[in-house]
A and B are shown apart, each in its own frame.
Chain A
Amino acid sequence: MNWHRVWAVTRTDLRQLMKSRDYWMPMALLAVLFFVVVPIVALNVIAGAQDSNVVTQIGAVLETLPLTIQENIRGDTPEVRAAFAIAVYLLAPIAIVVPLTIAAAVGSNTIVGERERGTGEFLAHSPITEREIYAGKLLAALIPGYGATLAGFGVYSVLVNVIVGPQLGGWFFPTSGWWVLILWVVPPAIAIALSLIVRISARVQSAAAAQQAASLVSLPVIVVAYAVASGLVYDPARTGLITGLVAWIIAYVGLASGSRALRREILLGIGIKSAKRVTIPRN
């Protein structure tokens, strides 16, 4: 694997993405919505509410949770406890949704984009290997996805600490569950989705079809990831580590299989359905 060429592919895709404002602007808005707007509105409403029905109802829900979880919810008043629960347990799994959505949007266009532009022909005639192309494309989708996670995570941390922190006696976020989620579970979750999406991108006839198919694939992955993430923030230590480990294994298998499936013929826009791999022994 020639990492210089891999990075050249990644850098070129990222440069194009950066220059395609119409493409990244909706994704940026999505991140802002989930990491900034929703937390500000939700937390301000809850933390500032006095004896409202919402707070009462949230309080009732919290009392139904297992005792071990209830013990982790901090705060002296129902409003603060509700705000803490929302900040840590309800909005946290967004960290999964946003990067997966961004990575799916970028990833779906990778291979089919080369074909549609015709640049796949250049790549096919160049010395780069199929594995290097695959790795480069994967990184090009993973970097904005995970980058959005980290940036969003940082902004979100500041916001919740500013809004709810003073009532909890200081900086309370991120919690250990968040660290496990962001550093151990989110990367393989994105990789699993991308292993499917890049493969789809290599198989379909157009970028539009790739985006449609990517939505179909990424939606269940997002739902599963959201469910897993929700569980992880309740019980981060053992469950998080095990879930992350399983996710890494699935991601590895998916990526290895995906890299083998990419052939030069696909870059040329032919053999998408009928091409067969011809292997002959080395002399």
Chain B
Amino acid sequence: MPDPAIIFRRVGRRFGDIQAVRDLDLEIAAGSVAVLLGPNGAGKTTTVRLATGALQADDGDIRVLGMDPRVDGTDIRKASGVVPPKAAFYDRLSGQENLEFAADMWELGSEAPIAKAAERFGISHALDQEVGGYSTGMRTRLALARAILHDPTILLLDEPTAGLDPESARAVLDLIREMAGQGRTILMCTHLLHEAEGIADQVVLMNEGHAWVAGPPDHLADTYWTDTRVHFDAEDRSALAGLVDLDGVVSHSVNGHVTVELDHLDRLPDIVAHLVESGARLTRVEPVQPTLEELYFEMQRHRRRQVDLT
């Protein structure tokens, strides 16, 4: 397991009467992709801001690449690329001038790979145009180009695909996959659950400024997913008619294939053995796996039950 690139220990941050982040514990391994999931106001943006030192924590301890953002904020920001929720630019300036400004902030000099970054995100043709005339998708692409201009070690993306067309959204997700492949550490905030599907090494469920659940998606599914439905199909579907009478089958439905709900998944080997013995040639036996969205809502239900109990 690589060393954590980002560590939060009991971090708190308050804005007036609002506790934006409280007792936040977070550990993101170097070279991994972590996705912060949660509704608006969950504290995701504040978490990103605390990580780069743009905001300072009231309580707790933060380490990013082994450094404290309150002391070494400049060094952390040099190593970080941020895609904020609103792709904001100096609208009267061209895309080229905006990227030059970013290059100046990171002291990249004349070697700044502006053309390469623009080409990477398909905005080379618009670099000379004023950003005020860019579409939302182009602005996000420019924000992505700006965020990777200095080849950051850590990439922080805050709702990067909000309001994007599918092509631009794919560009974001492709960037995440590409940078993850290069060993970069990536933290992405989103409330669009399907985005995290397939790219997250770790999912962190945030609510009311707190990380309620964290872990790899598979582990979370094993822990929180209580669905006992199984899809069956066979060469001759009539061979599955007897399923409804078997021990442990709670309910049964047919929708192209047969779906049964079991009282416990431990029943599945016996049921399969019975079907095979009775001559069914099975083509599909598939316990229902949760999508990240389903898992998210299941975890939310679990959290609410916990809150109710306490």
Contacts and interface: CB of A to CB of B under 8 A. Distances in A.
Interface string B242-277: 000000000000000000000000000000000000
B176 to A, nearest CB: 18
A274 B54 contact: no
A169 interface: no
Given A16-B92, A117-B90, A121-B84, A127 B78 contact: yes
A122 B56 contact: no
Given A126-B77, A126-B105, A264-B53, A280 B71 contact: yes
A15 B58 CA distance: 38
A267 B77 CA distance: 15
B15 A278 contact: no
Interface string A5-18: 10010001001100
Interface string B42-72: 0000000100111111100000000000110
A44 interface: no
B276 to A, nearest CB: 59
A12 B93 contact: yes
B107 A125 contact: no
Interface in A1-31: 2, 4-5, 8, 12, 15-16, 19-20
B74 A127 contact: yes
B262 to A, nearest CB: 50
Given A264-B53, A265-B55, A268-B49, A8 B92 contact: no
A129 interface: yes
Contacts of B74: 127, 129
A280 B70 contact: yes
Interface residues of B, number: 36
Nearest to A119: B88
Nearest to B46: A270
Interface string B174-201: 0000000000000000000000000000
B77 A125 contact: yes
A229 B134 CA distance: 48
B90 A119 contact: yes
A53 interface: no
Interface residues on A, range: 20 to 34
A64 interface: no
Contacts of B16: 273-274
Nearest to A117: B88
Contacts of A19: 92-93, 130
B71 A2 contact: no
Interface string A100-129: 000000000000000001110111111111
B55 A264 contact: yes
Interface pairs A-B: 10 shortest CB-CB: A118-B88, A8-B104, A124-B54, A125-B82, A126-B105, A19-B92, A121-B84, A118-B86, A127-B77, A278-B56
Given A19-B92, A19-B130, A125-B84, 19 more contacts: A5-B104, A5-B107, A8-B104, A12-B90, A15-B92, A15-B97, A20-B92, A117-B91, A119-B89, A122-B84, A122-B102, A125-B77, A126-B77, A127-B75, A127-B105, A264-B55, A268-B55, A280-B71, A282-B71
5 contacts: A4-B104, A121-B54, A121-B84, A127-B106, A270-B55
